[in-house]
Structure 1
């Protein structure tokens, strides 16, 4: 992916994308954004093979009660793609990361 600096760039870009998308921003109301940033960086580092350990809650715990629709989930994926584009992550690497994250989808939807 490009190391820790690239992961941080992607996550910061993602937060900016979310801040500009009111539908998705509503899901973050009351969230500890600093914790979100730290845990999302761990998660991306781990799934991209960076040797990190994810120490956050399960996806079910994090997303429980949010009742995230498939439409909103897909919009969030689009925001992540935008964040990676802005960080100049090549599309093949983006696809590999999304492929690793995709199995978590069922742990987030309609919970």
Structure 2
């Protein structure tokens, strides 16, 4: 084979190799790669978005007097376990599932645990955005908000969080409906 033919064949293989490699990736692997890219883009967009609107209410105001209530939840570790149950409930719920199916569920669980821990006087720092910015454009109505609370109550009951402790937390979360409900 001549040098020219060898070079032409090498160039053809070099251009065809990426196409061939893409064809060997299964549809499932391709979907996973696309989802990873989407999540990375979403995370990058969040990094560019101001974390807190200076005009929005604090999404995680600390109530040090509620520190004993945090212990009723099992501390920060208990909140982390609660969020696993809560997210599972949200995903299986007919009404709530669509809101969370394509979200970064690990991030949502982490930020909810941080938020609850901060509110309950645990000294945790909330790393999420304000409620209005976080929920803008999602089309959340009052029934959606109420259903989320119901799913949270089921999760808290599963974790045997005392009713009094549940009410203390829910009383602090309830006013957030003003920033979350958009419809």
For this structure pair, what is the TM-score category when the shorter chain's length is used for normalisation? over 0.9
Partner of 2:87, secondary structure, is helix
Q: Which of these residues, 87, 95, 104, is aligned with residue 23 of structure 1?
A: 95
> What corresponds to 1:68 in structure 2?
140
- Count of aligned residue pairs for this structure pair: 111
Partner-residue secondary structure (3-state), 1:22: coil
Higher-Rg structure is 2
In the aligned structure 2, how far is the partner of 1:76 from the partner of 1:15?
10
Q: Which residue in 2 is equivalent to 1:38?
A: 110
In structure 1, C-alpha distance between the alignment counterparts of 2:100 and 2:75, rounded to whole Å? 27
User: Structure 1: which 4+ aligned runs deviate by more than 6 Å?
Assistant: none
**Shift, 1:19, TM fit:** 1.5
- Measured after TM superposition, the shift of residue 29 of structure 1 is 3.7
- Return 89-98 or 16-25, whichever deviates more: 16-25
Q: Tell me the TM-score normalized by structure 2.
A: 0.58
Q: Is 2:152 aligned against 1:80?
A: yes
Contact 2:91–2:100 (8 Å) recurs in 1: no
1:105 aligns with 2:177: yes
- 2 CA distance for matches of 1:103 and 1:46? 16
* Structure 1 Cα separation of the partners of residues 80 and 101 of structure 2: 22
| Distance (whole Å) between structure 2 residues aligned to residue 102 and residue 88 of structure 1 | 21
Q: Does 1:50 align with 2:122?
A: yes
Give, in whole Å, the separation in 2 of the partners of 1:3 and 1:77. 20
* Unmatched 5+ stretches in structure 2: 1-69
Could you state the TM-score of these two structures normalised by the residue count of structure 1?
0.94
